[in-house]
Amino acid sequence: MKTDRRTFVKQLGAVTASTAVPHFNIIKSLNDNKIRIATIGMGIQGFSDTNAALRTGMCELVAVADLYDGRLTHAKEVFGNHVVTTRDYREVLERKDVDAVLIVTPDHWHDRISIAALKKGKHVYCEKPMVQHIEEGAAVIAAAKAAGKVMQVGSQRISGAAFKEAKRLVEAGDIGMINFIESTNDRFNPIGAWQYSIPSDASLKTIDWETFLGDAPKRAFDPVRFFRWRNYRDYGTGVAGDLFIHLITGVHFVTGSLGPNRIFSSGQISYWKDGRDVPDVMVATMEYPAMGKLDSFQMVLRVNFANAGSIKNVTRIVGNEGEITFGGNSLTLTKRKLAAAPGYGNGESFGTFSNAQQQEYLAAYDAKYPAETRTPEPVKEVLFDAPKEDDAHKNHFANFFEGILNNTPVVEDPLFGFRAAAPVLACNKSYFEKKVVNWDPKNLKLT
């Protein structure tokens, strides 16, 4: 697979050298604090990301690239005829009037286009997961560092008010020391299970199939694979890379953890037996080592595309003095602290002692635990709702653009993005290889 990839990259280089791409001598928009963007990949998330970026009022759309002609047509319909459209992302990277690119392609193109864009001097917003395979992470991080450009990874939920409040509460010690986290993202509908619509004009004439394949195995044209690419290992990263990544990114943001050191996952194709080769049900268990102010803790993640029961997708961060439950735009802090005195009787061994031993035990207990230590603090519950105007997606882009304009850190830089991506990609490795995966979260390598 890697040999095919190298050959393909060489072929791309040859094409680039022989293709005349126009250069544009336009005053850069950074001069007037208006960032000019181009979106590479105008699928579902491509349109969503572009709209979110424009909502900031900090940018303008110059160009888009996609391999399906219908999406290029629709981009003009949505954003205006002034937007330049092309099938070839390299033409976007050559444009002098593009300051930043949004990379919203299938996962197997993330690393290559990110590196190419950085080398061309573009700032990069890359959708999650940052890479498709763990071994690709180091090169992207190095490219961003060498280019000196801003790179933001697109797991936008962490820029919402509820996540920021959860982070504040954890840092304030409101739930004590964390010992367990669980997070779910279940669904029960065809579109949620990636059964996306396929246009009637899908053909080799309207789609650049060979470029779509990239370094994936060669195969005959298949519109199902093109429009439902998340269902296949060749192009996507399954539920781990699409949904676990949001869960683990949120946990890392809130706790400040660098990541787990042991990962195990299991799953199955339970309901959506449509030719996909990634599971529609997956559960992962991760062990986080003690690090900095954090004790070691356990985390369980779950995605179930066939959950016909009650779906309550939340993240629970449990500590020894309370828990934080959050999802969407709301959060609940529940504080509960044990009394210092352990108590006695009521189903435990005290009642089995002899009378004399019970009296002796009570005397020692009364001396050790005065009355005020025997009653637990009342349970406290604090509710938080994000402001109605809170827009996590827009906030994430605003953070990216502020980083470009002011040379300030972004919330999800390549290092952060890879620390989240590597464990979820390890979930796939664990699932397909049926083994526990050991990961070094400090040095970013498999062990």
pLDDT of residue 33: 73
pLDDT band at 32 (very low <50, low <70, confident <90, very high): low
pLDDT band at 28 (very low <50, low <70, confident <90, very high): very low
Q: What is the mean pLDDT of residues 174-196?
A: 97
Q: Tokens representing 297?
A: 């803790």
Tell whether the model's pLDDT for residue 341 goes beyond 50.
Answer: yes
Enter the DSSP assignment of 47.
Answer: H
pLDDT of residue 356: 97
Tell whether the model's pLDDT for residue 339 goes beyond 70.
Answer: yes
Q: Report percent pLDDT > 70 for the chain.
A: 93
Tell whether the model's pLDDT for residue 42 goes beyond 60.
Answer: yes
Sheet of strand 445-446, all strands in order from the earlier edge strand to the far edge: 380-385, 330-335, 322-327, 315-319, 178-184, 297-304, 281-288, 262-268, 437-440, 445-446
Q: Report percent pLDDT > 90 for the chain.
A: 90
Residues 6+ apart with CB under 8 A from 212: 67, 106, 226, 235
pTM: 0.90
Instruction: Quote the CA–CA distance of 9 and 37 in Å, as a whole number.
Output: 25
Residues 6+ apart with CB under 8 A from 178: 170, 255, 294, 295, 297, 317, 318, 319
Tell whether the model's pLDDT for residue 7 goes beyond 90.
Answer: no
Q: What is the mean pLDDT of residues 138-144?
A: 98
List, for residues 386-432, the tens digit of each pLDDT value.
999 999 999 999 999 999 999 999 999 999 999 999 999 999 999 99
Q: What is the mean pLDDT of residues 32-61?
A: 96
Residue for token pair 């954090």:
294
Tell whether the model's pLDDT for residue 186 goes beyond 70.
Answer: yes
List, for residues 235-282, the tens digit of each pLDDT value.
999 999 999 999 999 999 999 999 999 999 999 999 999 999 999 999
Q: How far is CA 112 from CA 20, 140, 169, 299, in A?
A: 21, 8, 38, 32
Q: What is the mean pLDDT of residues 115-133?
A: 98
Using alpha carbons, select from 228, 154, 224, 146 the residue that is nearest to residue 193.
228
Instruction: Quote the CA–CA distance of 302 and 283 in Å, as a whole number.
Output: 4
Burial profile 171-190: b = 16 or more Cβ within 10 angstroms, e = fewer: eeebbbebeebbbbbbbeee
Let me know: does 261 contact 441? Beta carbons within 8 Å: yes
- Lowest model confidence (mean pLDDT) among 15-19, 26-30, 399-403: 15-19
User: Mean pLDDT for the chain?
Assistant: 93
Distance between terminal CA atoms of the chain? 23
Residues in the chain: 447
Strand 380-385 to strand 330-335: parallel, antiparallel, or no bridges (unpaired)? antiparallel
